[in-house]
Amino acid sequence: MTPTVGKPQTKASRLGPLYAPIEAELEAAEEILRGQLASQYPFVDELAKHGFRLGGKRLRPALLLLAAKAAGECAQEHLTLAAVVEMIHTATLIHDDVLDDATLRRHVETVNARWNNQTSVLLGDYLFTHAFYLASTLGDAFACQMIGRSTNIVCEGELRQIASRGNFELGEDDYLSIIEAKTAELCACCCLLGAHYAGADKTVCEALERYGRYLGISFQIVDDLLDVLGSEAATGKSLGTDLAQQKLTLPVIRLLEEAPQTERARFVGILARPENHRLEELGPWLESSGALRYARQKARSFADQARAELELLPPSPAKTVLEMLPEFVVERQQ
């Protein structure tokens, strides 16, 4: 039997057929990634290669390339930028794994588990700075500016999330604003860059940017739902981690908002207790109160908003995939 740890990603696991219209471009972007991350220093080279294997669905480069093809033509800039956004995403994953003390990601050992936190912090920084350098080689400062701004908003979102831990008053609007920053912002940036470097006009650029934003919000709501609902085998990570960290996500926020005063106090008591059996205790309530259904419905509504932004685009295979992605995001089990 093949061991799971260290098993490389296959193309099929990266949303396979959905990527058909951009398969060649995605492969070219991977080639750029491989070339850019090669280092003359053996340790740095080994680390960068390992980091590169942690990436998963290649959703961000795919969004960038699909937006480009749906709005015009894919050019060399797009291939470079696809590598840039994947590098940035990988850097944030590696730093997330330090934060979470995670040992496995998508069945591959994390950098902090295989080496240590120090190496993870530096490898993340190495990828971040390399991504910015690569973006600057396009010749104009537009990509640098958009990527700099978006990644800064992502970090701010993550910091806001830390600050909100243990805050049982967190409302739905705050939650949505935080996930928009930490997750949707980079998706929006990818779609905008794809459209901009395809020469699309302002209306199309803005519509695709909003598409990415709504898709990203929908994606994160479902991610948070899977932390409560998913199967550990499918997601490849442990469940209930948000509740363990007293990080309120949409189903719990909804449960607290809709509960009568006395029940609400009991739920807050469960959340605030030092020992962590929160998922076991709250799980049945999340189900019976309709809070899970509500969250799924909310994800679906953002997915619908995403799809609606595509109306102004002419028909194309790339547009068809962009139309299918929101449904895929809402229905995914991992």
The site for a copy of itself (CB under 8 A) is made up of 39, 41-44, 47, 92, 95, 98-99, 117-119, 121-126, 128-130, 132-141, 144-145, 147-149, 151-152, 154-156, 158-160, 162-163
Q: Which residue number, 41 or 314, has a Cβ lying nearer to a copy of itself?
A: 41
Residue owning tokens 């993870």? 120
Q: Which residue number, 122 or 226, has a Cβ lying nearer to a copy of itself?
A: 122
Q: How far is the CB of 23 from a copy of itself (least distance, A)?
A: 30
> How far, in Å, CA of 88 to CA of 17, rounded?
25
Q: How far is the CB of 93 from a copy of itself (least distance, A)?
A: 12
Angle formed by the axes of helices 278-288 and 202-229, to 10°?
A: 120
Q: Is the dihedral of CA 43, 48, 49, 51 positive or negative?
A: positive
CB 110 within 8 A of CB 54: yes
CB atoms < 10 A from the CB of 290, how many?
14
Q: How far is the CB of 323 from a copy of itself (least distance, A)?
A: 32
CA nearest to 175, candidates 332, 115, 184: 184
Q: How far is the CB of 253 from a copy of itself (least distance, A)?
A: 19
> How far, in Å, CA of 250 to CA of 20, rounded?
34
CB 271 within 8 A of CB 168: yes
Q: Which residue number, 1 or 41, has a Cβ lying nearer to a copy of itself?
A: 41
Q: How far is the CB of 143 from a copy of itself (least distance, A)?
A: 9
Q: Which residue number, 133 or 257, has a Cβ lying nearer to a copy of itself?
A: 133
Q: How far is the CB of 140 from a copy of itself (least distance, A)?
A: 6
Q: Which residue number, 8 or 42, has a Cβ lying nearer to a copy of itself?
A: 42
CA nearest to 219, candidates 250, 260, 245, 247: 250
Distances (CA, A) of 79 to 125, 138, 206, 245, 289: 22, 11, 21, 38, 47
Q: Which residue number, 130 or 237, has a Cβ lying nearer to a copy of itself?
A: 130
Q: Is the dihedral of CA 167, 149, 62, 47 positive or negative?
A: negative
Element (H, E) at 321: helix 317-331
> How far, in Å, CA of 127 to CA of 84, rounded?
9
Q: Which residue number, 122 or 270, has a Cβ lying nearer to a copy of itself?
A: 122
**Number of alpha carbons in the 13 Å side-chain half-sphere of residue 218:** 25
Partners of residue 88 on adjacent β-strands: none
Q: How far is the CB of 329 from a copy of itself (least distance, A)?
A: 25
Q: How far is the CB of 157 from a copy of itself (least distance, A)?
A: 9
Q: Which residue number, 130 or 307, has a Cβ lying nearer to a copy of itself?
A: 130
